[in-house]
Amino acid sequence: MSVHDPQDRTAPPTLTVVRTIGAPPDRVFEAWTDPALLRRWLAPGRLEVVEAAADPRVGGAYRVVVVDPMGNRHTTTGEYRELVPGERLVKTWVYEGPSHPAGRYPTLLTVDFRDAGAGTTELTIRQDRLLTEMDREGNRDGWRLCLDKLEALLAADRE
């Protein structure tokens, strides 16, 4: 994987989001790989996951279907490239839906889980191969909303 120079205006935009989650790395990692948990958080805002399937192994596939309030379907599929439980997950992230009606939209997603002490995890999401700056900012907002749901889900588990 190449590293893009942030000053290179010809390089595809990359997004990095960092968030501290109030759960240990193994539990946060599980939320990224268990379909039952994915159903509960991997949809921004008022969107809802209606289908989640995952085969979390290198070469395994996943599929998540989200429906927005207007009934539009947003499907994300891909293949797991690297899995280190509680530490790192790398997968392709191929979006199909009304946000990009021209066709499939493939990116590469890298998620790092770092033990931040006291039962918390520093979560770093890096999404490479975004098409435009607008896509990057839209994905930033989407990840923020999804991570709000993830935090709420894991907080409820502690209660």
Instruction: For the chain, give the mean pLDDT.
Output: 91
Q: What is the mean pLDDT of residues 10-22?
A: 89
Give the tens place of pLDDT for each residue, 43-89: 999 999 999 999 999 999 999 999 999 999 999 999 999 999 999 99
Q: Report whether pLDDT(6) > 50.
A: no
β-partners of residue 74 are 66
Enter the pTM of the model.
Answer: 0.90
Range of the domain at 138: 15-158
Q: What is the mean pLDDT of residues 30-38?
A: 98
What is the band of 2 on the pLDDT scale with cuts at 50, 70, 90? Answer: very low
Q: Is the dihedral of CA 77, 81, 85, 88 positive or negative?
A: negative
- Specify if 58 maps to a domain: yes
CA distances to 2, 24, 100 from 33, rounded to whole Å, are: 26, 15, 25
**Higher-confidence residue: 97 or 17?**
17
**Higher-confidence residue: 78 or 158?**
78
Q: What is the CATH number of the domain that holds 99?
A: 3.30.530.20
Contact present, 150 and 29 (Cβ < 8 Å): no
- Specify if 7 maps to a domain: no
Q: Report whether pLDDT(18) > 60.
A: yes
**Higher-confidence residue: 29 or 101?**
29
CA distances to 45, 49, 75, 125, 135 from 67, rounded to whole Å, are: 11, 6, 9, 23, 19
- Specify if 10 maps to a domain: no
| Total domain count, the chain | 1
Q: Indicate the burial class of 91 (C-beta count within 10 angstroms; 0-12, 13-18, 19 or more).
A: buried
What is the band of 1 on the pLDDT scale with cuts at 50, 70, 90? Answer: very low
Q: Indicate the burial class of 69 (C-beta count within 10 angstroms; 0-12, 13-18, 19 or more).
A: exposed
- Specify if 30 maps to a domain: yes
